[in-house]
Structure 1
Amino acid sequence: MTGLRAWVNRVRRRWWRAVFFRVLFGERSAGRLLPGTRISPSTCIEHEDALVLGDHVFIGHFNFIEASAGVRIGAGTQVTNFVSIVSHSTHRAVRVAAQLSGATEPGDAALIRAPIDMGERCFIGPHSTIEAGTVLGHGTLVASHSRVRGRYPDFAVLAGQPAQIVGDVRDGDERWLAAHPELRLPYRQWQERVETHAGAVR
């Protein structure tokens, strides 16, 4: 009997994964088809019309993207799992709401609302939060469990709560490329394009 249950459980997991968690290539964003972009069906996106994606973006499982003020995710960026990307916050409004202040509406002054812009080829580690108004430069790496708010330059390594710059991804990339010289030329071409046309390749 236990053997039968084990078999049923395995079949059930495989079926559930194939139907509900299999991440498939092919998305549409801002009127463009993106054949290399993948978004897990377990990711919740609110205001999807204000989410602008580049191609070859990967968004993994159990993420929450609230894009009411606009969210842009550059080409090749990876958002791992259990990440929150929120373009507005009501944490102040809950203390000046009608029940407390007597006002009929808390008003826009009580809300934090600002677009989020992520550059190309960023990596967002699991259990991180990207807050309203954040701008990530190209090639940024966000360590897991980080809380990110602010503007950060290209190639930054971010970590902490609140996140701070703790390194430069080019240092690690250089060591890795030394062992894989066949990849050095395309990497250099992309790096030079970013450095020469900062902000223009998004």
Structure 2
Amino acid sequence: MRAFLNRLRRWLWRQLFFRMVFGEQGRAGPYLPQTRIAPSTCIEGEAGLELADHVFIGQFNFLDATAGLRIGEGVQITNFVSIVTHSSHRSIRLLGRAYASYEYTAPGYVRSPIVIGAYSFIGPHSVVEAGSHIGKGVVVCAHSRIRGHVPDFAILAGSPARVIGDVRLGDAQLLERHPELASHYAAWAGELPLAEPMHE
């Protein structure tokens, strides 16, 4: 009986609290029918979040939008990802107890918006730091730490993350096998991938 009650409890919890539902309301008011945000994702400063449609944000993420966070169409943010638009640890360390009552902008305080380009993928347990600009079609591998500018179509890995490849190589092979998808790809990417793309 106890095992049955535990299964029932877990089933109810999943149905009530961790169910993905289509449809979100964008900051500027448009309804985003294909966007899904898991209920376990924490969004701080939601007024600064700018979402496009067809976005997926998985379970147990932390999104800090206090300094502005723009997430492009088709972006996938998996699970256990932290995206932070501010950092106060240096300021707190410098000011100690005085940090809470400091009247001016604290020395060392970082606050800068983040942009994630269309159809990018952020792998689990990754961190995107303040001021980062991730281009379109980027793949961020699991456990990566992103800081700064990331070119379109890059594959990133590591902490700190570095470019280890280009998604267009694999995309070109898939489009060769499925040419009927070329117009869908070109609609968001702006062009079809070449066999050997080069980053600027």
CA distance in 2 between counterparts of 1:76 and 1:42 reads 20
Counterpart of 2:7? 10
Give the % identical residues.
53
Structure 1 distance, partners of 2:56, 2:62, is: 14
Q: In the alignment, is residue 89 of structure 1 matched against residue 87 of structure 2?
A: yes
Task: Report the 3-state secondary structure (helix = DSSP H, G, I; strand = E; otherwise coil) of the residue aligned with 2:33.
Answer: strand
Instruction: State the 1:178 CA deviation.
Output: 2.7
Counterpart CA distance in 1 for 2:187 and 2:83 is: 30
What are the residue-to-residue correspondences of 1:1-202 with 2, within 5 Å? 4-30=1-27, 31-99=29-97, 104-105=102-103, 107-192=105-190
Alpha-carbon distance change, 100 to 8 in structure 1, aligned in 2, over 3 angstroms? same
Q: For the Cα contact (< 8 Å) 2:118–2:188, is it kept in 1?
A: no
**What is the CA–CA distance in structure 2 between the aligned matches of 1:194 and 1:92, rounded to whole Å?**
44
Structure 2 unaligned residues grouped into runs of 5+: 194-200
| Structure 1 pair 194–188 and aligned structure 2 pair: CA distance change class (3 A) | closer
* Paired letter, 2:39: P
How far apart are the structure 2 equivalents of 1:41 and 1:100? 36
Any unmatched runs of 5+ in structure 1?
A: 196-202
What TM-score, normalized by structure 1, do the two folds share?
A: 0.88
Q: CA deviation at 1:193?
A: 5.5
Structure 1 residues 177 and 130: CA distance shift in structure 2, 3 A: same
Aligned residues: 191
The offset of 1:172, in angstroms, is 1.3
- For 1:42, the aligned partner's letter is S
Q: CA deviation at 1:106?
A: 6.7
d(CA) in 2 for partners of 1:49, 1:152: 25
1:183 Cα deviation after fit: 1.6
After TM superposition, which residue ranges in structure 1, 4 or more long, deviate above 4 angstroms?
none
Q: CA RMSD in A?
A: 2.0
